[in-house]
Structure 1
Amino acid sequence: MQAIPPRGNEKSAALGFYNGQTYHGKGITMNYMMNTFLQTTLNRSFSLHTTLSPLPKDLKKASEKNTVISHIAGHVVGLLISFGMTFLTTMFVFFPIKERQVGAKHMQVVSGVGPITYWLSAFIWDFINYIFPSMLLPLIFASYSKSAYMDDDRYMLIILVLVIYGVSALSFTYVLQFAFDSAPTGLVMVVITGIISGPVTTTAVFILRIPDLNTEGYADTLDWIFMTIFPNYNLAACFSNIYTNYINMMICTNVECAIEISSCCPAHCRFFKICTTYETNYMAWKRPGIGPYVLFMACQGFVYIVILMLVEYHVPQRLWYLISGSLEEYECGCEGSMASTIDSDVAVEERRVNSCRASLLFSKDSTDSLLLLNLYKCYGTFIAVDHISLGVPEQECFGLLGQNGAGKTTTFKMLTGDVMVTSGNAYLKGHDVRNNIKKVQANMGYCPQFDALIDQMTGRETLTMYARLRGIPEANIPVVVNSLIDILMLKPHADKLAGQYSGGNKRKLSTAMALVGDPPFIMLDEPSAGMDPKARRQLWNVLSQVRASGRTLVLTSHSMEECDALCTRIAIMVNGKFVCLGSPQHLKNKFGQGYTLIVQMGLLPDGTMAPNEPFIKFIRENFPDATVFDDHQGYIHFQVPDANVKLAHVFSLMESSKTNLNVQDYSVHQTTLEQIFLTFTRNQVPPKEDKFRSFLAKTCCGLCK
């Protein structure tokens, strides 16, 4: 306080200073100044006593305000916990998608791993990695003395909610992974799904419960829908309701409904916009109890596990087979519908395979190890495999050739159970792929087109794992693994991570995986792709020894030299159909009659390339049946189909043309298997990618394939 000069009739004046940050600052200053003036005018025996009191509270508004604050606080707590737990649980979707994407999961299934074994081991590992970080949450509540979650043994309730949520969230994540083919994309989409199904849905229901909006009915409906489907929503609701219930109990503890009006009193709720409700039993069914949310979370865990097992045991596929009809009976004398338009060898094989009932083909007199009976596969409107029929005898090395998109890999996928058969059937050792796929897989070794390796395992660990899956006695596993490592020249790289292997070494390891357990039937999809010449020759020797030991092999390859060296029979596949069938020499004799002439034109004096037309006219005058197979940049490729043409005559004409027609160089040789292959595959139509395939369609394909 400071004395100031009086003005007018004033006898004395003073200026008071006060702290504006406190509500009572003004009052204290005024009281101090009034007492100063009083005691200055009279004496110190006089004084003024001032009491500062707020206006009487509006109990109704205060009660409503406390209730709203408790609901907001509970919602924020549930929202934040749900947001954090979403990121924790959705991370586990990456490796299931990754293993399915690269084919590692399918390789384990082919090697004998059942769905229960695969998913139970994955669940145990994921749950351990989930539960330890989750248990930090009660510790954080305890360290900050959060009574809402720790008093009266409520920490046990928190642990129960976290355990049940872990089961339901992981099973929900496992089901979602079927919708994605890329691990990074799947991870991002599942995280987004988790955020939408947790924080977003929780906030939507919270907003709809605002009394002024009059949308409580919509909120209750959405609450039941989200409660039924989403584990993340239930988790947020549990933590939100526990906190809200605790705060409401604290507000209503000392309220006496008989002598005061309060939103805590059920009889007085009609006077308030919002009631302050609470339950002494936190597991109560009525809000803000968490009973229904815990129950539905537990049910979700069970339901999603059942869905997962239904998909893994191919129940949708079996239902599709049931609806579309089982394998038709093949009556004697039945011929393929395309017999008049296909190659005679293919037609003969088709008649042989389809000439009798399927059961008769597996009598003791039958020599066929593999039978394809009108095997057909389509994706929407695209036909990948078009009613192919084939028998592969014991101890044969059968080669399946064709360009990319011809249907080779799709055929392999149907035989291994990776995709469902649209119609027709296939038999391996008497077991059909539609109804006894596990028995088919038990007799099969499989090397997929793309390396189905787990990057975090070494080559030795990978082969050891598959040896155990194949049932090799533990004492014999080191010998088997070391033998495969040696014969495929993987010894320098055996203890390196598979993710660090070169492309050629990955193919070696994939081939070794197919040979583990010495299966009677081996399928190899481009086994030598990416190998160096030495390793390729070594692989050919190994496969020749495998076939000599009594095993049956089916392989695909882009190397005609490989097929010529290994295969006893070859089929060329174009647009999902067999266009020719027979031994390599048979195909050369049938489709490669005559000679192949390759000519390189020389340069004219002015430095330009000599014209092709005069030489083409010259060849056609001397060999009327000759056709130009290729004409590019001075190189001309002729096919001379007339086998009666004397080789000496061809050389004589070519020597004379070197001077007269500016021919720089030429070569004459018998038609090769590769040229026959190119002749047929020129008619291959590349598949069209459907860029507008919907998310739902992809999901359905993932469930039913």
Structure 2
Amino acid sequence: INHPLPQSELQIDSDLLSQATLELFTAICIIFALAFIPASFLVFLIDERVTTSKHLQFVSGVKGITYWCGNLLWDLANYCVSIACCMVIFLIFKIEAYIYKTNFLCLLLLLFLYGFSIIPLMYLINYFFTTPSTGFVLISCVNIFIGLITTISTFILETFDGQVDLTHINSILKKLFLIFPHYCLGRGLFDMSQTYAINTFSLKYVAGYVPISPLQNDIVVAGYVPISPLQNDIVGRNLISLFFQGIIFFALAILAQYRFFIPDRGCMRTPKNLKSTNEDDDVAAERKRIYLDPDNTSHDVLRMVDLVK
């Protein structure tokens, strides 16, 4: 019986590199596709702000936090439809790198948290545009550019194993780029597929090898010391970064709505003792009520203080 010769170390490295290149292309395609979905939410936000329909809602009594929470829940619901379509495609074509055991859960968390983080970021960006179509096109291009450049640059730098300086720069960039949801998604997809490839080859040729899970806390390899997930390129830190980015971006969107970052320029007020000679009694009573309630404990929707003609 003829048996094939075992692969040499050079052949295994070549196969891993080919597999990594293929999975990088898959990650790029996902980044490209998901760049348009968050940008599409800008269209309605910009249109509501420009046409003052958003202002009309606030005048009608809608609170700022209620407005943004409603938008976030609705946008996430629409985004989850896109996630479901992506998952179905992976299952139909049986892409093992993304549907194998814990990888499937990791993929689901990665896609959902990407939407959870980038949608509030779109809320912050909408103030910079007055034309919905311009905002959609420009932000779509920015999303694609950031996702591709950050992911590809770290992948290329990884190929220079013998260059100490480039390796150090790459480790710094991997931590610095975690502030971008686009990088967390692209790099997370690549690391997840790379982990699957390493498991596949190592189970064949390494005796006593324990498969690496992208979600496990410690990586245990026969003959090696367990590696901390904060030191190794696994998906856990990407998920954590996406989660905190979503909270921070949404909090900033709420603060921007209440003009927290815009200082009060002040205004000239009419003296309170100013009184018209022909002022009606009901007007005087209303003025007195407003003066006695400076904190608006009566919850008036609209207050005009010291308005004169």
In which range does the TM-score fall when normalised by the shorter chain?
A: 0.7 to 0.9
How well do the aligned residues superpose, as a CA RMSD in angstroms?
3.8
Q: Does 1:205 align with 2:154?
A: yes
Match of 2:237 among 285, 292, 295: 292
CA distance in 2, matches of 1:113, 1:428: 27
CA distance in 2, matches of 1:157, 1:149: 8
Match of 1:108 among 51, 54, 57: 57
| Deviation, structure 1 residue 213 | 7.8
Match of 1:305 among 250, 269, 274: 250
CA distance in 2, matches of 1:366, 1:168: 58
| Deviation, structure 1 residue 154 | 3.2
Q: Does 1:216 align with 2:157?
A: no
C-alpha distance 294-53 of structure 1, shift in aligned 2 (>3 A):
closer
| Pairs within 5 Å for 1:136-285 | 136-211=85-160, 214=163, 215-228=166-179, 230-256=180-206, 280-283=212-215, 284=217, 285=229
Residue in structure 1 matched with residue 36 of structure 2 by the alignment: 87
Counting matched residue pairs gives: 287
CA distance in 2, matches of 1:252, 1:84: 32
1:514-559, Cα deviation, whole Å (9 max, x unpaired): xxxxxxx9xxxxxxxxxxxxxxxxxxxxxxxxxxxxxxx99xxxxx
1:20-54, Cα deviation, whole Å (9 max, x unpaired): xxxxxxxxxxxxxxxxxxxxxxxxxxxxxxxx999
1:153-178, Cα deviation, whole Å (9 max, x unpaired): 53232222222122112111111112
Query: Which residue identity does 1:80 align to in structure 2?
Result: C
| Deviation, structure 1 residue 442 | 2.2
The answer to whether the Cα contact below 8 Å between 1:279 and 1:288 also exists between their aligned partners in 2 is no
Q: Which of 1 and 2 has greater Rg?
A: 1
Residue in structure 1 matched with residue 72 of structure 2 by the alignment: 123
CA distance in 2, matches of 1:125, 1:201: 29
If asked which structure has higher relative contact order (CA below 8 Å, sep 6+), I would say 2
CA distance in 1, matches of 2:238, 2:59: 40
Q: Secondary structure at the match of 1:315?
A: coil
CA distance in 1, matches of 2:199, 2:131: 49
Query: Which residue identity does 1:250 align to in structure 2?
Result: T
CA distance in 2, matches of 1:84, 1:429: 57
User: Percent identity among equivalent residues?
Assistant: 22
Name the one with the larger strand percent: 1
| Pairs within 5 Å for 1:47-62 | 59-62=8-11
C-alpha distance 366-80 of structure 1, shift in aligned 2 (>3 A):
farther
The answer to whether the Cα contact below 8 Å between 1:74 and 1:242 also exists between their aligned partners in 2 is no
| Deviation, structure 1 residue 429 | 7.8
What is the TM-score normalised by the length of structure 1? 0.37
| Deviation, structure 1 residue 365 | 9.7
1:50-88, Cα deviation, whole Å (9 max, x unpaired): xx999x888232132123123212322211111111112
CA distance in 2, matches of 1:440, 1:81: 49
The answer to whether the Cα contact below 8 Å between 1:86 and 1:194 also exists between their aligned partners in 2 is yes
C-alpha distance 159-299 of structure 1, shift in aligned 2 (>3 A):
same
C-alpha distance 429-69 of structure 1, shift in aligned 2 (>3 A):
farther
CA distance in 2, matches of 1:136, 1:161: 15
What is the TM-score normalised by the length of structure 2? 0.79
Structure 1 residue runs of 5 or longer lacking an equivalent are 1-51, 259-263, 265-277, 331-352, 370-392, 396-426, 445-520, 522-552, 555-568, 570-705
Query: Which residue identity does 2:193 align to in structure 1?
Result: Y
The answer to whether the Cα contact below 8 Å between 1:429 and 1:440 also exists between their aligned partners in 2 is no
| Pairs within 5 Å for 1:419-430 | 430=290
The answer to whether the Cα contact below 8 Å between 1:175 and 1:308 also exists between their aligned partners in 2 is yes
Structure 2 residue runs of 5 or longer lacking an equivalent are 218-228
Residue in structure 1 matched with residue 302 of structure 2 by the alignment: 442
CA distance in 1, matches of 2:277, 2:189: 70
